[in-house]
Amino acid sequence: MAGLQELGFFNSARSSGQQATKREAGTVNPGTGDAASMNRHERGHFGPGSFSFPGFLGLMLFLSFLLMASFSFAIAPCDPWVRFQPFLPPGWGHFLGTNDLGNDILSELIYGSKVSLIVGFGAALLSTFLGTLIGLLSGYYKGLVDEILMGITDIFLMIPQIPLIIVLAAFLKPSFWMVALLLGCLWWTSTARVIRSKTLQIREMSFIEGSRSMGFSDLHIIFSDVLPNIFYVILPKFLLAVASAMIAEASISFLGLGDASMKSWGMMINFAFTRGGFINGYWWWYLPPGLCISLSVLSVILMGFALEERDLETERIE
């Protein structure tokens, strides 16, 4: 699943070496060039600004999923583990009917948002942290450090993650935080590459040179001068990582490798698929969880998309 994070629309500084060198060459000129691009970086990437309609839609959708996950105990009409009459079609007692065990599907759905969001954000936090750290170090120090770190990144990038996670999960019978940990450890690669190419640009700017000549330590420069200026790249990357981790979690639970002690959307579809819900046409069993997966992923992607588009808007032909 390496490619999911490698999406073009999420970054202008794409990972290929050629692109990076092309851009580096453009930013070496000191003075005005610096000022212009600094200006662009500082302009409200996080302020209210012009957040487009799709972005707004994504935010609203996401907030509703977040509410659903955090107050699931209050919103859900009943306990998702309690058993009623099985195979009830949607009706007044049970809005979305019941499954083969008689669990209320609406409640299952609401409780399922928890795993999806926790795994998504947990994995994305870890992978963004790792990716940012590795990208910063390799972009700032260049040379041998860069060679080694980027070599490792390339190797990790080539290994297909989903099959690897399937194999590991088959042996480990994991809990959902273990899935998040595995995903996070495997997905830092593309973030690292983007961060590296941005760091390569920024380290040549004159204000970094200034800090260096004033005798600040490398680590200080990296974290207080370089990092704030690449933050606007990290955020969309982070959101994309959340989305891919959510899809991966759903896929793993669809294979029946998820955490059996938690309700999750992927697992609901799996049960519907393996226990005859699909063949018998009980659409209320597998359609809602599938839509929830798509919508939650969509909400996160739309937010990242909006951030990225706004970034493109401010970019002009120099």
- The residues that touch another protein, with contacts defined as CB under 8 A, are 1-4, 6-12, 14-19, 151, 154-155, 157-164, 166-168, 170-172, 243, 247, 250-251, 254-257, 266, 269, 273, 278, 281, 283, 286, 290, 293-295, 297-298, 301-302, 305, 312, 315-317
Shortest separation between residue 217's beta carbon and another protein, angstroms? 31
Q: Which helix (H) or strand (E) holds 80?
A: none
Alpha-carbon span 170 to 30, nearest angstrom = 54
Q: Which is nearer to another protein, 19 or 211 (CB)?
A: 19
- Contact criterion met (CB below 8 Å) for 284 and 86: no
- Characterize 196-227 residue by residue with b for buried, 16 or more Cβ atoms within 10 angstroms of its Cβ, and e for exposed: bbbbbbbbebeebeebeeeeeeeeebbeebbb
Shortest separation between residue 169's beta carbon and another protein, angstroms? 9
Six-digit token pair at 273? 């698929």
Q: Which is nearer to another protein, 226 or 302 (CB)?
A: 302
Shortest separation between residue 149's beta carbon and another protein, angstroms? 12
Q: Which is nearer to another protein, 221 or 270 (CB)?
A: 270
Shortest separation between residue 61's beta carbon and another protein, angstroms? 11
Six-digit token pair at 223? 């974290």
Specify the DSSP class assigned to residue 10.
G
Q: Which is nearer to another protein, 197 or 229 (CB)?
A: 197
Alpha-carbon span 5 to 206, nearest angstrom = 31
Q: Which is nearer to another protein, 221 or 304 (CB)?
A: 304
Alpha-carbon span 278 to 111, nearest angstrom = 22
Shortest separation between residue 18's beta carbon and another protein, angstroms? 6
Shortest separation between residue 188's beta carbon and another protein, angstroms? 14
Alpha-carbon span 267 to 255, nearest angstrom = 8
Q: Residue 53: exposed, middle, or buried by beta-carbon count in 10 A (0-12, 13-18, 19+)?
A: exposed
Alpha-carbon span 30 to 245, nearest angstrom = 40
Q: Which is nearer to another protein, 17 or 228 (CB)?
A: 17
